[in-house]
Chain A
Amino acid sequence: MDIQLKRGLLEICVLAAIKYEESYGYKIIKDVKPYISISESTLYPILKRLEEAGCLNVRSAEHNGRLRKYYCITDVGRQRLGQFADEWQEIMSIYNYVIREGD
C-alpha cells in the first residue's frame, strides 16, 4: 500500500480503536492488527502525532505495580473519524468509477 495512504489509515484505525473506551499500546496493536499491519515502532510516532494534534489525551495509571499509559479520544479525534467517514463516500464513488464495466 502507498506509504502516505497507509500513514493516514493507521491514524484512523488507532482512533477507531479508542473510539468507545480508552486503551493502551499493546491492546491497540492487538485490536488493529486484523485490519492493517502495525507494530510498536509504527504505533509510537502515530500516538505522538495524534496527541500533538489534540486528537487524544494520555493518562498514566498503575497496572501490576508499574505505570501504563492509557489513550482516550477527544472531540477533535471524533471529528477526525467523522471526516474520514464523509471522505470515504467520495472515495467509494471514485472506486466505482474506476472498476466500472464496459457496455
Chain B
Amino acid sequence: MNKEQFKQEIRTRLSDYSDEDINKALEFYDEAIDDRMEDGMSEDEAVAAIGTPEEVARQIQMDTPITTLVKNKVKGKGELKTWQVVLIILTAPIWFGLGIALLSIIFSIVVTILSLVFAFMVTMAALIASGIGVFFVSLIALIAGGGLHAVVSAGAALVILGLGILSIIPVMAFARGSIKVIKGFLSWIKSLFVK
C-alpha cells in the first residue's frame, strides 16, 4: 500500500470525525512515513511499519469518549441543511421516544441481571439464617425435654444450613459471571458507535 492509499483508507474510516481531527491525524502519519523513508525505507515498507489503517483508526476511536463518538455519529459531516433541521424537529416525538425506549431497554436488561443476582444472594442468606434459626429451635426443644422433636429439628437445621453453604459457590460464580456479562454488554453497546 502506498502513502496516498493509506491516508485515503484512514480518511474513510474516520469519516465521522471533523475535517480538523482527520487532517491533524493525517499530518502526523504523513510525517511519520516521510521520516521512515528518509531513514532508508521504501514507501511501502514505511507504510507497513506504521501499522494498518484499521489499527490507526481503532486507536483514535478508543481514545475518543463515547459521548463524542455518539455526537459525531449523529451530527455526521458538515453543517445540517435547513430541511434536515426541520425534519429532525418534526420527527422529534418519534426519535425522542425511540431513544428513551432504547435507553430503558438497556437499563432494564442491566437491572434484570442485577436483581437475579440479588435474589440468589438473598435466597442463600435466608437458607443460612433459617438453618441457624432451626438449630436454636432444636436446642430449645432439647431443653424442654422433647427428645424426638429436638433430633428432627437438628436434622432439618443441618440440611437447610448445608443447602445454604453449598449454594455459596454457584451463587458467587453467577454474580461474577453476571458482572462480566454486563460489562461485555455495555462495551458491545459502545462498539455499535465505533465502526
Contacts and interface: CB of A to CB of B under 8 A. Distances in A.
Q: Do A and B actually bind?
A: yes
Interface of A: 24-27, 39-42, 44-45, 47-49, 64, 66-69
A41 B31 contact: no
Instruction: Give me the 4 closest cross-chain CB pairs, A-B, nearest first.
Output: A26-B35, A45-B63, A41-B51, A41-B56
10 contacts: A24-B31, A26-B39, A39-B50, A40-B51, A41-B51, A44-B28, A44-B29, A44-B59, A45-B63, A67-B27
A49 B39 CA distance: 27
Contact of B32 (A25, A45, A49, A67): A25
B: contact size bracket: 20 to 34
Given A45-B62, A69-B28, A40 B50 contact: yes
Tell me what chain B mostly uses at the interface: helix, strand, loop, or mixed: helix
B68 to A, nearest CB: 13
Nearest to B56: A41
Interface string B19-56: 00000010111011011101100000000011100011
Contacts of A49: 63
B126 to A, nearest CB: 39
B114 interface: no
B186 to A, nearest CB: 17
A24 B58 CA distance: 23
A25 B55 contact: no
Given A47-B28, A67-B31, 5 more contacts: A44-B60, A45-B60, A49-B63, A64-B38, A68-B35
A48 B38 contact: no
A39 B29 CA distance: 11
Contacts of B25: 44
Nearest to A48: B63
B31 A69 contact: yes
